[in-house]
Amino acid sequence: MSLLATFHNAESVQPPCQFAAEWQPAPHSRRGELHCPIDGRDVRIVWELAGRTDAPLLIVAGGINEDSHVCSNDLDVAAGWWQAHAALLGRYRVLAIDWLENGSTAAQADAIAAVCKALGLPPARAFIGASYGALVGLQFAARHVRLAERVIAISGAHSLCAQQWGKVGIGIADHALCPETIAVPLSVIAVEGDTLAPAKTLAELAVRAPNAWLQKIASAHGHAAYLKETTAIAAAINTALDD
């Protein structure tokens, strides 16, 4: 069982995987493809690993429309989808993937795990998931307990509202998860006013998961707060990473 820790005020046995032949490493940041059987089908996993090789690893996953390019780096200077958090994420080595087409949240988690194993990466300091990425992060925690020391779930929980998530193409059948199976430390970050991932549902997740705690953010942006409330989200993430 967990207690509310902080309230942040917003500023407003399968075959082995194979690397694609064209994959080439960059000096620090790297990008490539992994061809691998996931959930009974062969898939192509596009990944990006950004940052210094000696930095602690973070796995980062965003909304259903986000991809593997999280922030600008030495391989790709274009701004990423979470560029607002470049200062925070720049202290780490960041791994992200492009979402599989027609994959369940469990399959997405397995795809990330396959990349971690294929690259020989150490356990991540944390898996940070926001929105759809939080759903995948929870699956990752339940299915690949040794690959991340903790999970930070922002605006995503174990239980989905069919009407709300169905509008963005996510079905309840694609995300069956029992919070009690999440053994790693779990920091749940809820946004008051988020109708897609209601704060009360995230509070239930934090209570039911064995080693979890809850942080709350007040925002007029609702579910989009993970993209728009830079200061509050950064404070919540830093608190979770420092725990």
The count of residues in the chain is 243
- Extents of the domains making up the chain: 4-12+15-242
For 160-204, write each residue's pLDDT tens digit: 766 566 656 666 566 778 999 999 999 999 999 998 899 999 999
Rounded Cα gap, residues 195 and 150, in angstroms:
26
Rounded Cα gap, residues 75 and 148, in angstroms:
25
- Would you tell me how many other CB atoms lie within 10 Å of the CB of residue 67? 14
User: Which pair of tokens denotes residue 199?
Assistant: 């704060």
For 74-132, write each residue's pLDDT tens digit: 889 999 999 999 999 999 999 999 999 988 899 999 999 999 999 999 999 999 999 99
- Would you tell me how many other CB atoms lie within 10 Å of the CB of residue 57? 23
Rounded Cα gap, residues 169 and 111, in angstroms:
20
pLDDT tops 60 at residue 27: no
Max intra-chain CA distance, the chain? 49
Domain 4-12+15-242 fold: Rossmann fold (3.40.50)
**Cβ atoms of 139 and 127 closer than 8 Å:** no
